[in-house]
Amino acid sequence: MGRRMDPSPAVAAADAYRRALRTAASVAAYAVLARSMARELLPDELRATARWGASKLSARLGWRRGELRTLVVRSHAGRSSAGIVSDDNLLYDAARTYLASRLDPPPPDMPRLGLTVSKAKDDDGGGVDGWKTRLFIEPGDFTTDVFDGVEFTWRSVPLPDGEKKKNAGAGSAGGDRDYFLELSFDAEHTATALERYVPFVMESAKETKRRERGLKICMNEGKMWYIINHHHPATFDTLAMDSDLKSSIIADLDLFTRRKDHYRRIGKAWKRGYLLYGPPGTGKSTLVAAMANHLRYNIHDLDLSHSGSNLTLQWLLLSIQNRSILVIEDIDCCCDAVTREGRHLQVTLSGLLNLIDGLWSASGDERIIVFTTNYKERLDAALLRPGRMDMHIYMGYCGWDGTPSRRSPTTTS
């Protein structure tokens, strides 16, 4: 007679649940049991899918699985004792940006949407650079979003008339503040909402704003940066370059932007250096423009012959904002050179490198420095030593068939 094997704990649990399900008297009891069963028997991914399916089903059947929790997201972060509205609520603006990107293209089940067309202002609020459209939920309406298998409902709620007055003039969004947002979800997912979904909304909005940002190119004269709009059409798609090399540069840039915590952890300034070298006219400046367009970073094109002393240079470097590319072209000949007026430059290469590694690195985040040269072999050893420029990229002429010549990039750190 064969020996009966003991069932595994999972099989035993499944049998016990099946028996209980058969005898469950009510729909509510069935739902509670099914949820416990899923929690114990399903792997994480399946559980998320099951949760999503269950929430869809419950929405269709009109019954709620659990208690509904609603977070109220107002346009301002609080109110002083005098009743005056205080700082902007960053989540409110981020949620509007995030929802606008989710509503474009408009979902078929939302026949009515709000639309605004506004001037696309440059970052510094200065010049106007075209216009942008934005879709949003009309007051009284709602939209749902599924994140990690959990359903989140965003509802736009009009402010009571009395509150509208108090809000008038607060912050930059004007009439947008005549309503607030409600974020509702099953109360059991409160931790997911606060710890994962809200940060996700904030990050997504940040990314959208980054993509919409108008770019600048800044050129120096004395202590000043002169700023013009940057509309260079070059992108990685238009750049003629070996495809593997191109992909490795894009991957390197993308990794850099995501590694804030990594740089903090290892105690290094969040910056990355690229040395572009190769004959004249092979696309080094074009590559810088493509990098700026890809990252949505401003370019600071530093001409050392216009920067005077180390002190002026220090001033210039310190006034560069985060998310910028600092470019110094023809680095082989711009230090220790002579200006057009015949004066010797007071900037030395070691002074420049010290400033970049020291003060400049300590004064900001997420910055890229690019040196270009036609003659890598003429460069000072201090510039080529490992860790100084993180990636050395050769830009060569195209071959007869139009394929660019290639050398593997060298990564020095």
Ligand X SMILES: Nc1ncnc2c1ncn2[C@@H]1O[C@H](COP(=O)(O)OP(=O)(O)OP(=O)(O)O)[C@@H](O)[C@H]1O
Name the site residues for ligand X (rule: CB under 6 A).
239-241, 280-286, 374, 395
The phi and psi torsions of 115 (rounded to 5 degrees) equal -140, 130
Question: Residue 55 or 285: which CB sits closer to ligand X?
Answer: 285
Give CA–CA dist 101/97, Å, rounded.
6
CB of 285 to ligand X, least distance (A): 4
Give CA–CA dist 121/126, Å, rounded.
7
Question: Residue 241 or 326: which CB sits closer to ligand X?
Answer: 241
CB of 287 to ligand X, least distance (A): 7
Give CA–CA dist 198/239, Å, rounded.
38
CB count in 10 Å sphere of residue 76: 19
What is the secondary structure of 332-352 as a DSSP string? HHHTT-B-TTSPBPS--HHHH
Give CA–CA dist 213/77, Å, rounded.
25
Give residues with Cβ within 8 angstroms of 189, minimum separation 6: 150
User: Residue 225 in 3-state DSSP?
Assistant: strand
Considering only the C-alpha atoms of the chain, give the largest distance between any 2 of them, rounded to a whole number of Å. Answer: 106
Question: Residue 295 or 328: which CB sits closer to ligand X?
Answer: 328
CB of 141 to ligand X, least distance (A): 47
CB of 147 to ligand X, least distance (A): 40
Question: Residue 130 or 233: which CB sits closer to ligand X?
Answer: 233
Query: Of all residues in this chain, which one has the CB nearest to ligand X in the complex?
Result: 283
Question: Residue 94 or 331: which CB sits closer to ligand X?
Answer: 331
Give CA–CA dist 21/34, Å, rounded.
8
Question: Residue 91 or 241: which CB sits closer to ligand X?
Answer: 241
The phi and psi torsions of 293 (rounded to 5 degrees) equal -65, -35
Tokens of 371: 């040196």
CB of 150 to ligand X, least distance (A): 46
Question: Residue 87 or 244: which CB sits closer to ligand X?
Answer: 244
CB of 256 to ligand X, least distance (A): 22
CB of 252 to ligand X, least distance (A): 18
| Residue showing tokens 């999972």 | 10
